[in-house]
Amino acid sequence: MAKDYVARDPRTGLPIATGRQQRKKGTKKQVTGPWQECSRKDILALANGEIPQLEIDWGGRRYTLPREDGIRGLGRLKGVWADRAHACLLNALESDEPSIRIAALEVLPVVGEQRSDELFDWLSVLLDDDDETVRKAASQCLEDSAPTFPSGIDSSLAQELRSPLQVRSEPAWRGLKGLTETWPEVACDHIDELLLVDDVMLRRKASKLLRNIVQRAGAMGWDLISWALNDADPDVRRNASATLASLSKKEPRIAIMLTERAILDADAKVRNNALKAIRSMDTDDSRARTLIMNGTRHKNIEVRRSCIEMLPMLLVEDKLRLIATELLQTETDSELKKMLNEYTFDASIEGTEAQKNTFLAPALPVPALEREVAQAQGQAVGLEPAPLGMPSQLESKDDLSQDP
């Protein structure tokens, strides 16, 4: 029972962070093929080139496996076989044949989970291989390895992210995105460096990844969002402000501080994202209420409109009429004036007769027993007329007085 217990915030119901959560590393899945039917000795012999080829039955068909398939099967060699698989893979990465180097790159992330010595040094070398197909395989290997081996590919990833060639940079950016899910703190280091470069396209791409780390990276992520909100490029600020609504659900105090800055931004989309964040905040928070109240006097009409629309959620009727009356003295937009006039309208005083009657307290219902007694005596109940044919209580008294 103790392991199943989750501490939760009594106000929000969200789990309380009580420590560093165990993070599951992304694992490269072994690619299946006919080599799955081979023994470990045959795989190792084929991968080393000790035998030129190997015939095997797989899935009801007969296959002749070349050395490349033996290298791809090295991912099956684990435990006591891991050292031999690692040594064999290093030899394959040094091969003069491009097809052998490509096969080695395909299985490198799997073998690296058992032993990774020197493997990522070779990966950095093959990223600049003379053969185009090998370079492409190396870029794919970098993408697959990034979520699992952040330290091994750190310098290679930083270099490929800045490559002017899209065929090399795009796999690196996909690898960085995967890294935000497994090691967000390491991803923050890369994003931090990218937000400082002069190339605006790199800063824009980096700012798009802020939404991936806003819930995972903690204080490091908040600093990056704050930095991006000060960027000279409006697209970078837009991407950063788009994370505020999500941040307000996890860290409302930090979100309010950043929203106070974004609401004053010169870009309309940044202000709109700030308004979305305000709408998702807890309006019982005093700082959030102050932020909304200040927004009702903002120089931008859209900000004023959004904040004025939120006033009924913050204030009781009497306070709402008072604030609306004050805002009417400085408001210049006709539509907002109409909205504020509706807030100042008191139907119980200024409304029609029917509207005023809705505020009157209804009469208490007559109990069923008293209703029966009154009807038996010929008396009316409320506005109902007295029952026909029934003598009233006054008539019965006169009849008694006339008796001898």
Quickly list DSSP for 73-97: GGGG--GGGHHHHHHHHHHHHT-SS
Asked if residue 101 has pLDDT above 90, the reply is yes
CATH of the domain at 112: 1.25.10.10
How many angstroms separate the CA atoms of 185 and 203, rounded? Answer: 18
The SS3 of residue 21 is: coil
Inform me whether the pLDDT recorded for 113 exceeds 50. yes
pLDDT at 401: 47
Which pair of tokens denotes residue 328?
């009417």
The per-residue pLDDT for range 47-88, each reduced to its tens digit, is: 998 888 888 888 788 888 999 999 999 988 888 899 999 999
pLDDT given at position 400: 43
- The full 3-state SS of 180-240, as one line of letters, equals HHHCHHHHHHHHHHHCCCCCHHHHHHHHHCHHHHCCCCCHHHHHHHHHHHCCCCHHHHHHH
**Cα Rg of the chain (Å, integer):** 38
**Structural domain includes residue 50:** yes
Residue 141 lies in a domain: yes
Instruction: Label residues 163-174 b or e (16+ Cβ within 10 Å = b).
Output: eeeeebbebbbb
Instruction: For residue 328, give every residue at least 6 positions away whose Cβ sits within 8 Å of its Cβ, in sequence order, or none.
Output: 337, 340, 341, 344
Q: Is residue 206 part of a domain?
A: no
Rounded distance, CA 253 to CA 172, Å? 34
**By three-state DSSP, how is residue 56 classified?**
strand
Torsion of the alpha carbons at 307, 308, 312 and 316, rounded to the nearest 10: 100
Query: How distant, in Å, are the alpha carbons of 89, 159, 176, 194, 330 from that of 154?
Result: 21, 9, 10, 14, 57
Does the pLDDT of residue 375 top 60, yes or no? yes
pLDDT in tens, 135-155: 999 999 999 999 999 999 999
Query: Do residues 178 and 56 touch, judged by C-beta distance below 8 A?
Result: no
* Helical segments of 251-333, H only: 252-262, 268-279, 286-295, 301-309, 311-314, 317-328
* Mean residue pLDDT across the chain: 82
CA 105 to chain CA centroid, nearest Å? 34
Statement: residue 393 has pLDDT above 70 = no
pLDDT of residue 399: 47
Q: Which of 99-108, 295-304, 350-359, 395-404 has the lowest mean pLDDT?
A: 395-404
Residue 194 has a pLDDT of 95
Q: Tell the burial category of 397 from Cβ atoms under 10 Å away from its Cβ (0-12, 13-18, 19+).
A: exposed
Q: Are strands 54-58 and 61-65 parallel, antiparallel or unpaired?
A: antiparallel
Domain count for the chain, please give it. 1
Query: Token pair for residue 218?
Result: 């903690």
Is 148 part of a structural domain of the chain?
yes
Asked whether residue 57 is domain-assigned, the answer is yes
Q: What angle do CA 86, 82, 90 make, to 5 degrees?
A: 5
User: In this predicted model, what pLDDT tens digit does every residue of 37-53 receive, in sequence order?
Assistant: 888 899 999 999 888 88
Host H or E run for residue 178: helix 166-182
Q: Give the list of residues 6+ apart from residue 52 with CB closer than 8 angstroms, or none.
A: 66, 67
Asked, for residue 104, whether it belongs to a domain, the answer is yes
62 part of a folded domain:
yes
For residue 30, is pLDDT > 80?
no
* Residue 75 domain boundaries: 26-182
| Top-confidence range, 12-21, 168-177, 283-292 | 168-177
Is residue 54 situated within a structural domain?
Answer: yes
Contact in structure between 244 and 277 (CB atoms under 8 Å): yes
Its pTM stands at: 0.71
Mean pLDDT of 169-191: 93
Q: In this structure, what token pair is assigned to residue 201? A: 């396209």
Asked if 348 and 359 count as a contact pair (C-beta separation under 8 A), the reply is: yes
